[in-house]
Amino acid sequence: MTSTSVQSTALTPYGWDDAWADAFTPHAAKGLLPGRVVRVDRGQCDVVTADGVVRADTAFVTPHDPLRVVCTGDWVAVEPGGHPRYVRAYLPRRTAFVRSTSSKRSEGQILAANVDHAVIAVSLAVELDLGRVERFLALAWESGAQPVVVLTKADLVPDPVTLAHLVQDVETSAPGVPVLTVSALYGEGLDILVSLVGSGTTVLLGQSGAGKSTLANALVGDDVMDVRAARDVDGKGRHTTTTRNLLALPSGGVLIDTPGLRGVGLFDAETGVGQVFAEIEELAADCRFHDCAHETEPGCAVRSAVEDGALPVRRLESYRKLKRENQWIVAKTDARLRAEIKKDWKRRGAAGKAAMEAKRGRRP
């Protein structure tokens, strides 16, 4: 068996395929080894190769752009030996899950690469935050992955009618997305989830206390992740997962578990927002004005749908919020767009003031 065949066989459980092998050809000619990053920690990473897991330094592929650093899920070219070993390059990513940082420079942070499914864990131990679910979904769609919403701790909602209503609320907020109820503690609903993530790479996302580590353990079939009880007062837990870890699943597929995310900022996610609110975008096509903001403009099909009860007002408010946030994030790095946004806000403010004056019977 050739060395290439050995590498393919050893790396297949981690997602290696013919397309990755073709992309790696120039690096193989230099004597480098293929591997997949299973963990990154302060400029060092663990890479699974045909020779097992090796520790490698990322100094040679750490640019100033934070979106081009090596991250969990990357396929990389590693030196065959040496102390320390170095990652010399990573292969072009098929997908990338990115959020904005808290930096005033509006930088993006890449959470995982080459992901096929994005499982968004939402705890039923606390009141549903549909706006947060929509935010996660926008990032997931933007990444290129297929989102799946998993309502965890379903055993805490024993009434089937109540549970059905909760699922319906989430389905309304997640058009075109599977919504599953799971109790990892009792193994309920896991079979459907296992079949969904049984091929490709899945990233597991959610807030602290959402039950991600318990879910990861259930999918892996072993206690690979530390689990701690969530606080009763708000359902939140400590960050039991502190790094992003890539794990091969016994049923097939690969899982990337991530730390609980306190902040989930959008980062250039216009397409993702549009997919989350597909029904609003479809309604907007019938508005009188192509640039309708769905606020005070006449002939607005979106506001008409709200008034008719066909569109929940909460959905429209969430849509506006995420659109504004994403627009402002993009504008931070685009001076021309920033000026256009400020001009548009002034125009809308003047229009709103004129409408209010007219309503009061005064001359604008």
Which 8-state DSSP code applies to residue 132?
A: H
Measure the CA–CA gap between 142 and 67, rounded to whole angstroms: 15
Question: Could you tell me where the beta strands, DSSP code E, fall in the chain?
Answer: 33-41, 44-49, 52-57, 75-78, 85-90, 96-100, 108-113, 117-123, 146-152, 179-181, 201-205, 245-248, 254-257
For 270-296, b/e burial (b = at least 16 CB within 10 A) is eebbbbbbebbeebbeebeeeebbbee
Position 231 pLDDT exceeds 50: no
- Kindly report the average pLDDT of the chain as a whole number: 83
Cβ within 8 Å of residue 23, ≥6 positions away: 75, 91, 92
Q: What percentage of the chain has pLDDT greater than the value 90?
A: 51
Tokens standing for 45? 């990473």
Q: What is the pTM of this model?
A: 0.81
The predicted pLDDT at position 117 comes to 95
The predicted pLDDT at position 122 comes to 94
Under DSSP, is residue 98 helix (H, G, I), strand (E, B) or coil? Answer: strand
Pick the range with the lowest mean pLDDT from 60-74, 245-259, 279-293, 343-357: 343-357
Q: Of the candidates 194, 171, 174, which has an alpha carbon nearest to the alpha carbon of residue 182?
A: 194
Residue with tokens 């708000």: 234
Longest dimension (CA), the chain: 87
What is the tens place of the pLDDT at every residue in 284-320?
999 999 888 888 889 999 999 999 999 999 999 999 9
**Mind spelling out the 3-state secondary structure of 237-289?**
CCCCCCCCEEEECCCCCEEEECCCCCCCECCCCHHHHHHHCHHHHHHHCCCCC
pLDDT tier, 228 (very low <50, low <70, confident <90, very high otherwise): very low
Measure the CA–CA gap between 269 and 45, rounded to whole angstroms: 28
The predicted pLDDT at position 106 comes to 57
